[in-house]
Amino acid sequence: MGTAAITKPPALPSDVDLAIVGAGVAGLAAAKTARARGLSVALLEAQSRIGGRAFTDTLDPGNGRAPLPWDRGCHWLHQARENPFTEIADALGFGYRTESRASHIWLGDRWADDADLADRRAAGERAEAAVAAAAEAGRDVAMADVIPDLGRWSGVHRQFLRAVTGEDPAANSTLDDQRYTETGDNWPVEAGFGALVAAWAADVEAITETPVQRIDRRGRDLRLETPRGTLRARAAVLTPSTDVLLSGGLRLDPPMPTELADALAGVPLGAANKVAFAFDRDVFGLEHAMAVHQPDAPRGCNFQIRPFRRDMAIAHSGGPLARQLEQAGPAEMIAFARAQLSEMFGADVHRYLRASATTAWGRDPWIGGGYSVCRPGRAGDRARLLRPVEARIWLAGEACSLTAFGTVGGAHDSGVAAARHAAARLTAARD
């Protein structure tokens, strides 16, 4: 059982000022903001839980020990010194780790030494400098087109980019990448980011198990049709992922403007998944660390080893590999990650393996993938997502953030901004 809140759906109101579709972080932030401004709000969520891609689950390590929390989705406080959830975590008593993680790279016959690791860092800096130079010159091209040959680190760096962006650098915009504000402060939440979101949202009433199937915008008010009835609203904030909005599961009538549909297509979801392992003892002899198998890269996983000294390993895959493994199914995902762990740490570690679990965000019909990625040549599309439809329908979510896309902080701030725009518009219409 995850820690995201699961509640019996409350009754569907007949008429509200603002309807918010999706109770992920953007929708929750929009609901809090709108209600603080005196609007009547209906927050509609298709699933039986809130949180969206913020979802903390647990694994049983055996030996009578407490279940180990792990995040199926988001897990870092990215841009932590500026992230609104850092202050929220402090207020709610949620701890996080600010220290940097040790990096370990298996070279096939030995672990990388300090000289190897310094060489890897220098290679990464060359790649980042090349992408930055292209962006500064206004070149909106594929990252892969400008990254130089990094020698033995080319695969490792490509694998790293696939994990952090959810896509291969051949399908990632240089200009969009450089608009992201990288502060170097990426702090994991000890009890789980999903648990933090659930605690923060405890005061928000969400109408769960209520997917919005159609929004009729032909009249003065919007009519949102659901399996539980129809709701009237004077304005709406839509927070489903770009892929969900394009899938047709939520239809606008008349259809969404062509320019909006085109912008959504330019910022689709990448792929990102995890395999979590729980052991009944420390089999790694390491503190909180990251480990990579260099000979397999870029077709490999990035492993979190013993996060918060828990006897766990969490394999992260992104881009093409994440899609392939998800299609193959949980058994193949687990076997693949186990094989990489065995090559790095020895097959004996699995003697003490007690539980495992996988994610499949691409198969979730209400999510559709990992996090948004901008196609080369489409760096202007995020800004286009911010334009309202008829000044009464706004989009929000991590894809709508210009400088913090792919993060919970970006989703939060976009939800706040959309609700503020809606409140200002509704207030002006009343005056």
Mean pLDDT of the chain: 95
Cα first-last separation, the chain: 48
The answer on 198 and 174 residing in a single domain is: no
The answer on 263 and 125 residing in a single domain is: no
pTM above 0.75, yes or no: yes
DSSP letter for each residue of 262-284: HHHHHS-B--EEEEEEEESS--S
Q: Does 263 have pLDDT greater than 60?
A: yes
Q: Is residue 96 part of a domain?
A: no
Averaged pLDDT for residues 379-400: 97
Averaged pLDDT for residues 300-320: 96
The answer on 248 and 131 residing in a single domain is: no
* CB of 167 closer than 8 Å to CB of 271: yes
- Write down which residue in 128, 153, 179 finishes a domain: 179
Q: Does 151 have pLDDT greater than 80?
A: yes
Confidence of residue 8 (pLDDT cuts 50, 70, 90): low
Share of the chain above pLDDT 70, in %: 98
Classify 40 in phi/psi space as left (phi over 0), alpha (psi -120 to 50) or beta.
beta
3-class SS letters over 200-262: HCCCCCCECCCCCCEEECCCCCEEEEECCEEEEEEEEEECCCHHHHHHCCCEEECCCCHHHHH
Of residues 68, 23, 27, 83, the one with CA closest to residue 49: 23
Q: Structure tokens of 27?
A: 């929708």
Of residues 124, 93, 139, 59, the one with CA closest to residue 359: 59
The answer on 257 and 199 residing in a single domain is: yes
Longest dimension (CA), the chain: 73
Q: Residue 431 has what pLDDT?
A: 67
Cis? peptide before 67, omega within 30° of 0: no
Q: Is residue 163 part of a domain?
A: yes
Q: Residue 117 has what pLDDT?
A: 97
Confidence of residue 1 (pLDDT cuts 50, 70, 90): very low
Burial of 258 (0-12, 13-18, 19+ CB in 10 A): exposed
Sequence-ordered list of residues with C-beta below 8 angstroms from that of 317, at least 6 positions apart, any chain = 162, 163, 271, 272, 273, 274, 275, 301, 302, 325
Predicted confidence (pLDDT) per residue in 69-114, tens digit: 999 999 999 999 999 999 999 999 999 999 888 999 999 999 999 9
Q: Residue 9 has what pLDDT?
A: 74
Q: Residue 405 has what pLDDT?
A: 97
The answer on 200 and 263 residing in a single domain is: yes
The answer on 164 and 201 residing in a single domain is: no
Q: Residue 371 has what pLDDT?
A: 95
Q: Is residue 124 part of a domain?
A: yes
Q: Is residue 111 part of a domain?
A: no
Predicted confidence (pLDDT) per residue in 181-227, tens digit: 999 899 999 999 999 999 999 999 999 999 999 999 999 999 999 99
Report residue 86 CA to chain centroid gap: 17
Q: Is residue 109 part of a domain?
A: no
The answer on 397 and 255 residing in a single domain is: yes
* CB of 396 closer than 8 Å to CB of 414: yes
Q: Is residue 316 part of a domain?
A: no
Averaged pLDDT for residues 134-150: 98
Q: Return the DSSP state at 120.
A: H
Averaged pLDDT for residues 6-13: 74
The CATH number given to whatever domain includes residue 226 is 3.50.50.60
Domain count, the chain: 2
Q: Structure tokens of 295?
A: 């000979």
Q: Does 430 have pLDDT greater than 90?
A: no
Strands 76-77 and 187-188: antiparallel
The answer on 170 and 43 residing in a single domain is: no
Averaged pLDDT for residues 320-346: 97
Q: Does 63 have pLDDT greater than 90?
A: no
Q: Is residue 207 part of a domain?
A: yes
Weakest mean pLDDT among 7-21, 40-54, 224-238, 380-394: 7-21
Q: Is residue 254 part of a domain?
A: yes
The answer on 146 and 33 residing in a single domain is: no
Q: How far apart are CA 74 and CA 307, in angstroms?
A: 14
Range 18-45 burial, b when 16+ CB lie within 10 A, else e: bbbbbbbbbbbbbbbbbbebebebbbbb
Measured between alpha carbons, how far is residue 132 from residues 266, 383, 396 in Å? 21, 20, 27
- Domain residues for 204? 15-53+193-268+371-430
The answer on 399 and 423 residing in a single domain is: yes
The answer on 259 and 205 residing in a single domain is: yes
Q: Residue 10 has what pLDDT?
A: 82
The answer on 150 and 24 residing in a single domain is: no
